[in-house]
Chains A and B, each alone.
Chain A
Amino acid sequence: MRRLALLAALLVSLAALISPVALAIGPDEMLADPALEARARTIGQSLRCLVCQNQSIDDSEAGLARDLRILVRERLQAGDSNQQVVDYIVARYGDFVLLRPPVTRATYLLWFGPALLLLVAATAIVARARRKRATIDAPLSADEESELKRLMEPR
């Protein structure tokens, strides 16, 4: 029973983790055109708020995040494509502003490090298992054989 309650509590807290967070976008910022507003949301979700650093600009209450949301909407209304808007922000704030870091030479370790680590670990485990099996399968030496015989002999 107790275990069941614990499991339920765990599930509830997990659900809280994945449930959508309230957006910080004020009604006054939103565009009248729903298609343009949807594009602004897609872009906003992918841009880091540099004040909080772990929230997107859509989730952040920071003044700078609000200014960036307004700027994104201005650029969209001026006819920029999504990529052009993102490039405009990156030209000022660098790749760090992207919540999904691009694959560049500086981020190779970030992107491929885990796979590399897995490969190294798997190789080590396989090598170890092989070595162990080799020792188990090897027949006993003459010395070991006689020692075994001596131990097994009834006294």
Chain B
Amino acid sequence: MSLRYAIPLALFAALAIGLFAGLWLKPSELPSVLIDKPAPPFDLPPIAGLDVPGVSSQELQGQVTILNVFASWCIPCRAEHGELTKLMRDSDIKGRVHLFGVNYKDKPEDARAYLAELGNPYERIGADPGRLFINLGAYGVPETYLIDAHGRIRFRLPAPITPQDVDTTIKPVLRKLLAEAKS
């Protein structure tokens, strides 16, 4: 085969491989600019009428934290709720990692009904009218942030947690953060 045919064929093959690889990219999941930076300071009140304390950024110090942004009106949050609950019962995680909720733009009665129906895996929940959401660089619900013992954001998942996410990213990152906190 002469070079005359080889060049277009090679170009086409490169294009095809590039486009094929692109099928696995997730352009809707944006990278966070806050990775390795301290979480923004905040002090959120509890959900009115709920016996779960509110949350402030001070409580992120000295412990490994999962900060999960959720809302009762968010359907994917329902889907990930089971994953979060299961994760918090995991023998590696239970008692070592703290799960804090950020209840985004919710009515207190709706949030209370949501937690009564699905159960409450959160240790603390802050009600956020939207400012912490922007300070986190969040752009959708649910979003999950993994925060190290120095209060720095180390990982962000801007999508509902799936069982694959738990195994491939969330658990390995949490284990790393726990190991760092120990040393």
How many A-B Cβ pairs are below 8 Å?
A: 36
Instruction: Give A63 to B105 CA distance when docked, in angstroms.
Output: 10
* Minimum distance in angstroms from A152 CB to a CB of chain B: 33
- Chain A, interface residues (CB within 8 Å), range: 10 to 19
- Beta-carbon contact of A92 and B137 below 8 Å: yes
Collect the chain A residues with CB atoms within 8 Å of residue B130's CB: 63-64, 67
Collect the chain B residues with CB atoms within 8 Å of residue A111's CB: none
B6 at the interface (CB under 8 A from A): no
**A42-89 with Cβ < 8 A to chain B:** 50-51, 53, 63-64, 67-68, 71
Collect the chain B residues with CB atoms within 8 Å of residue A90's CB: 33
Q: Which of B105, B130, B131 has the most CB of A within 10 A?
A: B130
- Beta-carbon contact of B105 and A93 below 8 Å: no
B44 at the interface (CB under 8 A from A): no
User: Interface residues, chain B, CB within 8 Å of chain A?
Assistant: 28, 30-34, 105, 130-131, 133-137, 139-140
9 smallest beta-carbon distances between A and B, as pairs:
A50-B139, A94-B33, A92-B137, A67-B130, A93-B137, A96-B30, A64-B139, A67-B134, A51-B139
User: Interface residues, chain A, CB within 8 Å of chain B?
Assistant: 50-51, 53, 63-64, 67-68, 71, 90-94, 96
